[in-house]
A and B are shown apart, each in its own frame.
Chain A
């Protein structure tokens, strides 16, 4: 057994284990009410996720950030259970018409859990003497350790990064290997390259269809629909159409050499046609996409990935690629045997 087959399987095993067992960081799932007026007393019920409000009761504090550095601290906090507290804030006056206040809840077990734009505070005329304090940013810190980040709405589905996103990346790598082999076939007319090219393209098509299916499920539980008008989704679907056309083209030609030549030519030509679909349209400035990295780099970048996610994501891409390569190699060998047999007859 070649080392890379084992490596692929080991990586995928690691991805499934780590991808499902590493917990999320503590976060804030829900607050209510979600809007209030300035210069009032606010009684906020806060629902945490993976939090330890009860155990970390002694050091529990909550802050509402009103501008870049100022905020108010909760005057009283009632702990209901590990994941539910009620905090009372005396909200002061605000500068602008409204402020989207970020909520921080801090204790020594969870460190800081926060919810951006948790509450909208609208200006309520009169000035009053409620004073703002400086937020003690030096005390606020993210919980250390190997934990995945908590994002509202995404919740645990952030783990789909290792399956859905990695499938797409692995598909691309497999397609490029397929293209390279297709080109090699045109150059050398050696049928082994055609077997390789078609095998890599086929497993890439399978990955692509699975990428659409897994993405559809993810979309259902985060964006609320199976299918959206999102540009990246639709461009990916069109690329899949092109490759399904490739598969049908292969199926409709019987002569081995002709099939090899036509399909290699079509895959290279079609890839050129896919360049605007995959690399130009999603990057256009006025395109709105729900996927990360809008109007710039459509790949994952910056805030959407953090280091703990990367430590599982990259192995997932490599593992899926190697696993796909394994399956493609098996198919190549079958195709080669078919070819040899047809030569014998």
Chain B
């Protein structure tokens, strides 16, 4: 869990940095792109969790073969 938390952080930080760098872009058109950023984070977070599940299944498959 600790590892996964760190990995989530590493996923989020680039987006935050991007947000920092292009604040004016994220603020344009009534700040709509900050909503896009929120949706992207949500998607990536869920994808990350699914990826972890995938790893779990793979581990079991490998165990099965042994």
Chain A residues close to B by CB (< 8 Å): 16, 20, 24, 49, 155-157, 159-160, 163-164, 167, 202-203, 205-206, 209-210, 213-214, 217-218, 220-222, 226, 244, 247-248, 250-251, 323, 327, 330-331, 334, 337-338, 341
Contact = CB atoms under 8 A, between A and B. Distances in A.
Contact of B5 (A167, A209, A210, A323): A209
Interface string B21-54: 0000011011110110111011001100110010
Output the residue of A157, A167, A202, A210 with the most chain B CB within 10 A: A210
In order of increasing CB-CB distance, the 10 nearest A-B pairs are A247-B1, A155-B30, A156-B30, A156-B32, A214-B38, A221-B34, A210-B45, A159-B35, A206-B49, A157-B31
Contacts of A167: 42
Contacts of A206: 45-46, 49
Contacts of A247: 1
Contact of B38 (A163, A202, A250, A331): A163
Interface of B: 1-2, 5, 8, 12, 16, 19, 26-27, 29-32, 34-35, 37-39, 41-42, 45-46, 49-50, 53, 56-57, 60, 63-64
A26 to B, nearest CB: 12
21 contacts: A16-B39, A24-B30, A156-B35, A157-B34, A163-B35, A202-B49, A209-B45, A213-B8, A213-B38, A214-B38, A218-B34, A221-B26, A221-B31, A244-B1, A247-B1, A248-B1, A250-B1, A327-B46, A327-B50, A331-B56, A334-B56
Contact of A203 (B2, B49, B57, B63): B49
B49 to A, nearest CB: 5
Which of A203, A220, A247 has the largest number of chain B CB atoms within 10 A?
Answer: A220
A341 B35 contact: no
Given A213-B45, A244-B5, A163 B39 contact: yes
A178 to B, nearest CB: 15
Contact of A214 (B1, B19, B42): B42
A163 B42 contact: yes
A75 to B, nearest CB: 31
A163 B45 CA distance: 13
B13 to A, nearest CB: 11
A327 B19 contact: no
B4 to A, nearest CB: 9
Nearest to A245: B1
Nearest to A214: B38
Interface centre among A159, A164, A167, A222 (most CB of B within 10 A): A159
B50 A213 contact: no
Nearest to A206: B49
A334 B56 CA distance: 8
Chain A CB within 10 Å, residue with most, of B8, B19, B34, B45: B34
